[in-house]
Amino acid sequence: MKELMLGNEAIARGAYEAGVKHIISYPGTPSTEITEFASKYKEIFCQWSVNEKVSFETAFGASLMGDRAMTCLKHVGLNVAADSLFTAAYTGVNAGLVIVCADDPGMYSSQNEQDSRQIARAAHVPVLEPSDAGEAKDMVLKAFEISEEYDTPVMLRITTRLAHQRSLVELCDRQEVPSKEYTKNPAKYVMMPGMARKRHIVVEDRERRLSDAVNTLSLNRMEIRDSDIGIISAGAVYEYVKEVMPNASLLKLGISYPIPKEIIKEFASRVKKLYVIEELEPVIETEIAAMGIEVMGKCLTGLQGELSPEKLCEIFKGEKQEVKASNLPMRPPVLCPGCPHRASFYALKKLKLTVFGDIGCYTLGTLAPLSSMDASLCMGASIGMLLGAYLAKGKDFSKKAVAVIGDSTFLHSGIQPLVSAVSLNAAITVVILDNRITAMTGHQPNPSTGKDIYGNDIPEVNIEKLCLAIGARVNTVNPMEVEDFTSLLKEELNYDGVSVIVAKYPCALLPNQRKPAIKVENCRNCKLCLNIGCPAILPGENGVTVDSTLCNGCGLCATICPFGSFKMEGK
């Protein structure tokens, strides 16, 4: 039976069919839906972990005990898990262990455009790259076979266009894979130098065997047609190549690391001109060039952004689609109407603070008119950056600066820098924007939410008590009460130590957060309310109006309007 599935849904289906028992992940666009879909299969236990390193290690532990396990993350999440991954490549696995890593060419929802295949290669972990949803499902099964046959973690590398495409998938039954026996084996699983030196030899030997084997795997496929042009590709872009160059000879790599050298030599000998079409870094191209084969790739495609059929048309056919420069106003994403972060940033901006930011919806506080953020790097970086600013510029500066970090991001990797700050007795103020959920990726519960992925109640990690235990001074405030929040900020900024302000108010998109829309009466058109950048407040010649389909009734506009022109129902 064929079913139309999202790429990520197909990967979850693949895990189900492969007899996977555990999927432990941390949300990150574009990988999030894999674990969400997998949680609908009662045969698979799924958990939103605290971060990617812990999720990988949890999956690794399950594999060690003999159950097939998987972790799904985005490219930058792989960096967090990399420490464990590099050494797991030495220990190998017991039952199969697969990492699904979603890269984001074009950066639809990411802070960089790194190519995860390079990390897999550096860790000596094989990489499979599916081209559509159906193949993604099949490749999950193949990845587990390779993982067990070669005793290694395996990466299934996808990109945004694979994760978020829908295509037809042929469904099969689940194969129940019996748990493997665990036998104590410190020479294999305890990586002290003496053991690790021997395991490094095993890693090299495994890679040699795999390098031979990939030449006979059906995952790598030659399609010989016209001999003038030969194009090697992998992943979602294979389908673009096939569309634009239906008559060219193609070599589709299902495994892009290690590359099948014998097949590549043969393919190169059968075509006059050889190209590699791959997104992001020249991973395949560099290896082919190192074999002494003449090949072109990145000099034509460049490193940046995602490829597209029209870009390939331009490269191979010289047909350039002329698009008139658009003068249409941009529509960047914005904080939703009713978002508590808007109130927080309004207060921070009024105090003219330097703001070290973090990763989440609140990164949108960077954009006009809130224009609040000075720097944002990666998950958990805000507190460390503020600490560095304190060291460099002293407390006169740090008393006019804050770090802002979300609840989920704080638990992900904000705890350690807070510990570091306390041990320096730094004069810094950290604002935890606690909206009770991991919002940006689509409302996954986190350890402070008190719910698991299935909606069951679980023990709630108390952020305030956690920060107190670390040794910070802790206050909780409702950021929608702008005056309270502002006066607390002023007080805490003067404190000669580590202060944590938990700005607690639920995400506007959570159930029951919507109140009746605000009404405007006798607006004097001072335009002060336009400074909060609420998409529901519209400017007009005779004063502002409120779009009642967008307004969530939060009342922030009523709080800041000096003339009381915004009326909340019942007030």
Q: Which residues bind another protein (CB under 8 A)?
A: 2, 4, 6, 29-30, 32-33, 108-109, 132, 161, 164-168, 236, 239-240, 242-243, 308-310, 313, 321, 323-324, 326, 328-336, 361, 364, 367-369, 440-442, 530, 533, 535, 537-539, 547, 549-550
The least distance separating another protein from the CB of residue 378, rounded to whole angstroms, comes to: 15
The least distance separating another protein from the CB of residue 168, rounded to whole angstroms, comes to: 7
329 CB burial (10 A radius; 0-12, 13-18, 19+): exposed
In whole angstroms, give the CA distance from residue 536 to residue 477.
25
The least distance separating another protein from the CB of residue 323, rounded to whole angstroms, comes to: 5
The least distance separating another protein from the CB of residue 275, rounded to whole angstroms, comes to: 17
Question: Cβ(209)–Cβ(131) under 8 Å?
Answer: no
Question: Cβ(307)–Cβ(493) under 8 Å?
Answer: no
Residue 250's beta-bridge partner residues?
A: 223, 231
Which H or E element spans position 171? none
In whole angstroms, give the CA distance from residue 495 to residue 22.
46
In whole angstroms, give the CA distance from residue 18 to residue 22.
11
Q: Which is nearer to another protein, 363 or 446 (CB)?
A: 363
| Strand ranges for 467-552 from DSSP E | 473-477, 498-504, 519-520, 537-538, 545-546
The least distance separating another protein from the CB of residue 160, rounded to whole angstroms, comes to: 8
Q: Which is nearer to another protein, 233 or 382 (CB)?
A: 233
The least distance separating another protein from the CB of residue 217, rounded to whole angstroms, comes to: 23
| Strand ranges for 42-143 from DSSP E | 45-48, 69-74, 97-103, 127-128
| 336 C-beta neighbours (distance < 10 Å), count | 21
Report the SS3 class of residue 257: strand
Report the SS3 class of residue 475: strand
Phi, psi angle pair for 91, to nearest 5°: -70, -30
The least distance separating another protein from the CB of residue 397, rounded to whole angstroms, comes to: 30
Q: Which is nearer to another protein, 18 or 280 (CB)?
A: 280
Q: Which is nearer to another protein, 194 or 332 (CB)?
A: 332
Which H or E element spans position 25? strand 22-25
Question: Cβ(148)–Cβ(175) under 8 Å?
Answer: no
Q: Which is nearer to another protein, 66 or 445 (CB)?
A: 445
The least distance separating another protein from the CB of residue 449, rounded to whole angstroms, comes to: 20
Give Cα separations from 470 to 202, 429, 467 (angstroms): 43, 14, 5
The least distance separating another protein from the CB of residue 330, rounded to whole angstroms, comes to: 5
**Amino acid (one-letter) located at 238:** Y
The least distance separating another protein from the CB of residue 476, rounded to whole angstroms, comes to: 26
Q: Which is nearer to another protein, 442 or 516 (CB)?
A: 442
Q: Which is nearer to another protein, 388 or 442 (CB)?
A: 442
Q: Which is nearer to another protein, 160 or 382 (CB)?
A: 160
Q: Which is nearer to another protein, 192 or 328 (CB)?
A: 328
Q: Which is nearer to another protein, 162 or 432 (CB)?
A: 162
Give Cα separations from 149 to 190, 206, 228, 400 (angstroms): 21, 10, 38, 58
Which tokens is 421 given? 């700050």
- In angstroms and rounded to an integer, the radius of gyration of the C-alpha atoms of the chain is 26
- Measured over the CA atoms of residue 392, residue 398, residue 400 and residue 404, the dihedral's sign is positive
Question: Cβ(410)–Cβ(436) under 8 Å?
Answer: no
Q: Which is nearer to another protein, 123 or 546 (CB)?
A: 546
Start-to-end CA span in the chain (Å):
58
Which tokens is 456 given? 């069951």
Residue 2's beta-bridge partner residues?
A: 170
Alpha helices in 294-335 (DSSP H): 298-301, 309-317
| 86 C-beta neighbours (distance < 10 Å), count | 14
Q: Which is nearer to another protein, 95 or 405 (CB)?
A: 405
Which tokens is 328 given? 């249409």
Q: Which is nearer to another protein, 192 or 323 (CB)?
A: 323
Q: Which is nearer to another protein, 164 or 270 (CB)?
A: 164
The least distance separating another protein from the CB of residue 241, rounded to whole angstroms, comes to: 9
The least distance separating another protein from the CB of residue 486, rounded to whole angstroms, comes to: 23
Give Cα separations from 161 to 104, 106, 151, 278 (angstroms): 8, 10, 30, 13
The least distance separating another protein from the CB of residue 49, rounded to whole angstroms, comes to: 19
The least distance separating another protein from the CB of residue 309, rounded to whole angstroms, comes to: 5
